[in-house]
Amino acid sequence: MAEMRTHARQTFSSAAKEKWWQRTTVYQVYPRSFADSNGDGIGDIPGITSKLEYLKALGIEVLWLSPIYASPMDDNGYDISDYQAIAPEFGTLEDFDRLVAEARDKGIGVVLDLVVNHTSDEHPWFTEARKSRDNPYRDYYVWRKPAADGGTPNALTSSFGGPAWTLDPATGEYYLHLFSRRQPDLNWENPKVRDEIYAMMNWWIERGIMGFRMDVIDYIGKQVDQSIVTDGPHLHDYLKEMNRRTFGGQDLLTVGETWSATPGSALLYSGTEREELSMIFQFEHVTQQWDPKFGKWRARPFDLVKLKAVLNKWQYALSDDGWNALFWGNHDLPRAVSKYGDQRGFPLESAKMLATVLHLQRGTPFIYQGEEIGMTNATFTSIDQYKDIETLNMHRLHVEAGLSPDDFIRGANENGRDNARTPMQWNAGSNAGFTTGIPWIEVNANHVTINAEAAISDEHSIWNHYRKLIRLRKQHAVIVHGRFQSFLDHHPDVYTYTRTHEGKKLVVVANFSARVIPLDLPNELQVSGECLITNYNRVPQLEERIELQPYEAFAVLASED
């Protein structure tokens, strides 16, 4: 197995100063919804392997798989009952090894989803821990005595609604779960827990993976008695220890999911000299759109000025050190073209505009499965169509709290996690070519027009636009290393920025509206050069006054005067 890693590393090795993962693009697969090879209606690992040619043609070099491990699937695999076994519905370890080998032969590395803030309540560690207060595994988890009134130890709440504490009657103590009650939090203060996790990580590294995406990794330093959940005092100690004892020095890609990240903490996670992680996902561009009281469950209007302010802040903050992971979507978020674009009026133009704006920024771009063909949010009208535990829990709690069921469904239609989990749309045929069986969640009816087969054969498709962007990043150092500078920050419809590096200037201009926008360009943007990419078949002249078509976006490469 070790020789597999050396080969993989050689495949991806790059110039000394630049990290290979700065010039690549990552594709996220949600295995349950990607490709079903055996007709049970659930995506699986052989299904992913069957689509490697598609992924290679797109040009991606890293595949991030959402969890594939043994799990009761209470949270679709983010509740792990055996970290070193494959969930039977996804396949076998042999299937996994075959995927890694065939992917590597196509120049693609596999990154696994590391979910170590919590396990499933069916993990043997937890079934042991709950047997008695003095069980050897008891303090693998976080237990507290009831409060004086018999209630929960404190007011911590779960992301999936309700208290973060559940009483275990057998031992009369509460256990902590920041997600579902079937996802008990691990106690990272226990060195035995850390030893077990590092051993498991090294076992996967020896199987030839190229890195980890780390689920809610900002939670592992929690100090529950002070109600500290994120950014606990030992968080970075643990990450340095993890780096040192597992992936450190092996040139792997590691990305932390850190909803609590700030530009300051991002530098702690991903600074070059920090020896912690390669990069992090921050979510400020997502949460700044949420309702103060009902969060994502109350639909709110889109505000470009606010979105630009957040994206720009993160570009500036990590200009000289640290590294951004750039994304519009993932398995927890609504579809990009539905959330930020115009899926009804200008689906192609707006999806390509969003891709252009994101992929030409500083950071590593992540494509969520289906984003590259413009897949849209689901069109569910009843709570019965939803499968996601978060949505179902929150529906019950919000309706109990007085939010009208229709309001909740509107919120779920806009921001619910199942929007990203409808099956990948491969063709216009039955079940979009995802399965020959009955899909575990409804296929979007628009697969008859929005599907990979149609996209690949259409030179003007969103898919080909992504393919071009991925190639541009490999070709132009200014896209990887260029200094970011935004312009017209207060313009309500247009996003424009430059990237400058070694005498080159890339000018990116994007109209985020369905209207024709006349625009006076600042001097810095009045350049002549090579148009690297555009979503209209015309070459823009960057003169003093230009006129942008609906959702028009382009990038011009000039010499930095």
Active centre residues (catalytic): 215, 257
Task: Choose from Ca ion, ligand TEU, none: what does 11 bind? Cβ within 5-8 Å by kind.
Answer: none
Nearer to ligand TEU, 56 or 387 (CB): 387
Residue 412 within binding range of ligand TEU, rule CB under 6 A: no
Nearer to Ca ion, 44 or 284 (CB): 44
| CB count in 10 Å sphere of residue 315 | 20
Task: Choose from ligand TEU, Ca ion, none: what does 38 bind? Cβ within 5-8 Å by kind.
Answer: Ca ion
Cα–Cα dist 303/513, whole Å: 11
Tokens representing 63 are 């595949």
| CB count in 10 Å sphere of residue 148 | 6
Residues within the interface to Ca ion (CB under 5 A)? 36, 38, 40, 42, 44
**Coil, strand or helix: which one is 374?**
coil
Binds ligand TEU by CB under 6 A, chosen from 75, 89, 185, 251: 75
Binds ligand TEU by CB under 6 A, chosen from 12, 54, 78, 126: 78
Task: Choose from Ca ion, ligand TEU, none: what does 332 bind? Cβ within 5-8 Å by kind.
Answer: ligand TEU
Nearer to ligand TEU, 183 or 534 (CB): 183
DSSP per residue, 463-526? HHHHHHHHHHHHH-HHHHHPEEEEE-TT-SSEEEEEEEETTEEEEEEEE-SSS-EEEEPPGGG-
Task: Choose from ligand TEU, Ca ion, none: what does 179 bind? Cβ within 5-8 Å by kind.
Answer: ligand TEU
**Residue where the block lists tokens 């260029």:** 482
Give the rounded distance of the alpha carbon of 36 from its chain centre: 22
Task: Choose from ligand TEU, Ca ion, none: what does 279 bind? Cβ within 5-8 Å by kind.
Answer: none
Q: Which of 13, 8, 15, 18 is nearest to 482 (CA)?
A: 18
135-174 residues in contact with ligand TEU (CB under 6 A) are 159
Query: Minimum Å distance from CB 556 to Ca ion?
Result: 46
The DSSP H or E segment spanning 416 is: none
Task: Choose from Ca ion, ligand TEU, none: what does 241 bind? Cβ within 5-8 Å by kind.
Answer: none
453 CB-contact burial (10 Å; exposed 0-12 / middle 13-18 / buried 19+): middle
**Binding mask 84-123 vs ligand TEU (x if CB under 6 A, - otherwise)?**
-------------------------------x--------
Task: Choose from ligand TEU, Ca ion, none: what does 156 bind? Cβ within 5-8 Å by kind.
Answer: none
**Binding mask 290-309 vs ligand TEU (x if CB under 6 A, - otherwise)?**
------x-------------
Nearer to Ca ion, 322 or 433 (CB): 433
Query: Minimum Å distance from CB 427 to Ca ion?
Result: 18
351-390 residues in contact with ligand TEU (CB under 6 A) are none
Nearer to ligand TEU, 80 or 355 (CB): 80
318 CB-contact burial (10 Å; exposed 0-12 / middle 13-18 / buried 19+): buried
Task: Choose from ligand TEU, Ca ion, none: what does 417 bind? Cβ within 5-8 Å by kind.
Answer: ligand TEU
Tokens representing 287 are 């949460």
The DSSP H or E segment spanning 550 is: none
Nearer to Ca ion, 42 or 479 (CB): 42
Instruction: Supply φ then ψ for residue 134, to 5 degrees.
Output: -105, 20
Task: Choose from Ca ion, ligand TEU, none: what does 281 bind? Cβ within 5-8 Å by kind.
Answer: none
Q: Which residues pair with 168 in a beta bridge?
A: 173
Query: Minimum Å distance from CB 339 to Ca ion?
Result: 29
Contact 423, 435 (CB under 8 A): yes
Query: Minimum Å distance from CB 360 to ligand TEU?
Result: 26
Residue 259 within binding range of ligand TEU, rule CB under 6 A: yes
Nearer to Ca ion, 85 or 317 (CB): 85
Nearer to ligand TEU, 89 or 257 (CB): 257
Query: Minimum Å distance from CB 162 to ligand TEU?
Result: 14
Count of residues that bind ligand TEU according to CB under 6 A: 13
Query: Minimum Å distance from CB 161 to ligand TEU?
Result: 10
Q: Which residues pair with 37 in a beta bridge?
A: none
Distances (CA, A) of 534 to 329, 343, 350: 22, 19, 12
Distances (CA, A) of 39 to 96, 212, 394, 421: 19, 29, 32, 18
Cα–Cα dist 24/222, whole Å: 33
182-221 residues in contact with ligand TEU (CB under 6 A) are 215-216
Query: Minimum Å distance from CB 364 to ligand TEU?
Result: 18
Tokens representing 361 are 């920024």
Q: Which of 197, 199, 193 is nearest to 137 (CA)?
A: 193
Tokens representing 49 are 């392997």
Nearer to Ca ion, 36 or 113 (CB): 36
Query: Minimum Å distance from CB 439 to Ca ion?
Result: 10
Q: What are the start-end ranges of the H helices in 208-323?
A: 235-245, 263-270, 284-287, 304-317
Residue 332 within binding range of ligand TEU, rule CB under 6 A: yes
Give the rounded distance of the alpha carbon of 150 from its chain centre: 39
Tally the residues of the chain.
561
Query: Minimum Å distance from CB 68 to Ca ion?
Result: 12
| Binding stretches for ligand TEU (CB under 6 A) | 75, 78, 115, 159, 179, 215-216, 257, 259, 296, 331-332, 417
